[in-house]
Structures are given as structure tokens and as C-alpha cells.
Amino acid sequence: MILLHQVHSLRPGAGPEFEEVTRDQLLPLTASGTSRFAFYAVPTGAALHQDEVITMIALEDGNALGRFSDRVRGGDLTNTVGRLATLRTDVATRLLKPLDYDPSQLRIEDIPSAPSHKPSVSYMHDFVPPVIGQNRAYVDMMREHYMALTETELSGVVLRYSWETVWGGGPVPEMFNLSEIRSPTALLQLVGKEIPGEYKQIGSWMWDALSVRDRWTTRLLRSATWSPIA
């Protein structure tokens, strides 16, 4: 599977229309046997990147990506995608593929082809460029160390999706992690309290992982109530 991940920088006040066009036009047009509109979220109100939207479209393979691109360039998706483009000032696009330890094991057929109706979910959205030359070591450490941590050790922030940028599809090497914030308490601890000292000691994940990734970009997101995989 390939994930078309986009960060849309919106024009002032364009948020409601952008969401409406995405939900009512792009989502149903995208739904097919080899593609699905998968995810829609916005940064929380206190976030640095407030006038943004995060979208993800799941595509079965490279052939599905090619067909989707043709539909955007000169087919039934042209007008809708063009309308969305008028509502933003910039867009950053990545093509991602799942890592072998990805918890979701997402499949096209598992993604609803119509808007969902469920509570919004809070997420921690991370782009992680590993230290140059250490991308495989980072993947191994995530698989063997991070995935073995309990929800208590993770303070209620649990990895849901873990993907990497494919060559030619954005910055390489770079990992993408989307983690669910399981409770208001976990969110409060994340933004309102210092990380406990014992989590930053030698031998802990936060310490050891600095050898393979020492910078990252984090957004706190809130999924739309209609987002298919919220």
C-alpha cells in the first residue's frame, strides 16, 4: 500500500469550505477498489500550525497511484482538487509505505468508503528524520524496543501507524508516526507537565533513541468526526 500524505496550509478562513469539499466531493470520488480517502485532521487550537489540514489517501500500489494521478490531471478529480488548491497557500506532499512493525496493518478494504460518524480522536503526529546512516538502526530500535513498551510506560500515547517516505516521494530518510492520545489525562500530561526524569535516563527509550534520531517535528491533531479511520 502507498499512503498519499498531505499537509495543507490554508488561506485565512478557508477551513470550513476546505473540509466540506473534501468530505462531500473528494472522499466519495476517491472511493474505489484500489483507493480510499482515509484520514482528515487539523492541529489543535493551541498548535503552532493552526491553519493547516492533514489528509491521507490510501492507494493499493503504484498502478493505483498512476490511475489516481491521471484522474487528478485530466479526469473526474480535476475540478475538486483544483477547488481545494484555491483554498490553500501551500501543500507538502509525501508518499509513504508501511514499516514491517506498523500496528495498523491497514488494508484498502478496511477503510470505509463513506464518511464515518464517531468521536474525534487526539493524535501526536511525528515526522522523524533519522540521523544520516542510521535509518535501519532506527527502524530496528522502534520494532524491538519501542513496540515492547506498555501503554503505562508510554503514558497513554500509543502508536497507531508507522510508515516511511518512499524514494522520490518526499524527504528520505524520514519516518512518519501517528500515535493516539488515549485520554484527556494523557493529553494534559503531554502538554502541561515535564517528562519524568526516569524516562530520560540511560537505558530508557528516550535516551537510547537519540543515537539514531535527534530531531523531529510534532503536531498535536484532532481528527474530524467523519474521518474514515479516525
- What pLDDT sits at residue 195? 56
Domain that residue 180 falls in: 122-220
- What pLDDT sits at residue 101? 94
Domain count of the chain? Answer: 2
Q: What is the CATH number of the domain that holds 37?
A: 3.30.70.100
Residues 126 and 211 grouped into a single domain: yes
pLDDT, one tens digit per residue, over 150-162 is: 877 777 889 999 9
Least-confidence region, from 38-42, 174-178, 193-197: 193-197
pTM of the model: 0.89
Residues 29 and 90 grouped into a single domain: yes
pLDDT, one tens digit per residue, over 41-89 is: 999 876 666 689 999 999 999 999 999 999 999 999 999 999 999 999 9
* CA–CA dist 197, 116 (Å, integer): 40
Residues 136 and 166 grouped into a single domain: yes
Domain boundary among 100, 134, 160: 100
| Helix 62-74, helix 78-86: angle, nearest 10 | 70
Residues 148 and 181 grouped into a single domain: yes
The answer to whether residue 189 scores a pLDDT higher than 90 is no
pLDDT, one tens digit per residue, over 94-147 is: 999 999 999 999 999 999 999 999 999 999 999 999 988 888 898 998 999 889
Residues 8 and 92 grouped into a single domain: yes
Residues 40 and 127 grouped into a single domain: no
Residues 93 and 126 grouped into a single domain: no
Residue 114, in any domain of the structure: no
DSSP per residue, 97-162: EE-TT-SS---GGGS-SS-------EEEEEEE-PPTT-HHHHHHHHHHTGGGS-TTTTTTEEEEEE
pLDDT, one tens digit per residue, over 197-224 is: 555 555 565 657 777 887 888 899 999 9
Residue 228, in any domain of the structure: no
Domain boundary among 70, 100, 130: 100
Residues 68 and 156 grouped into a single domain: no
Residue 134, in any domain of the structure: yes
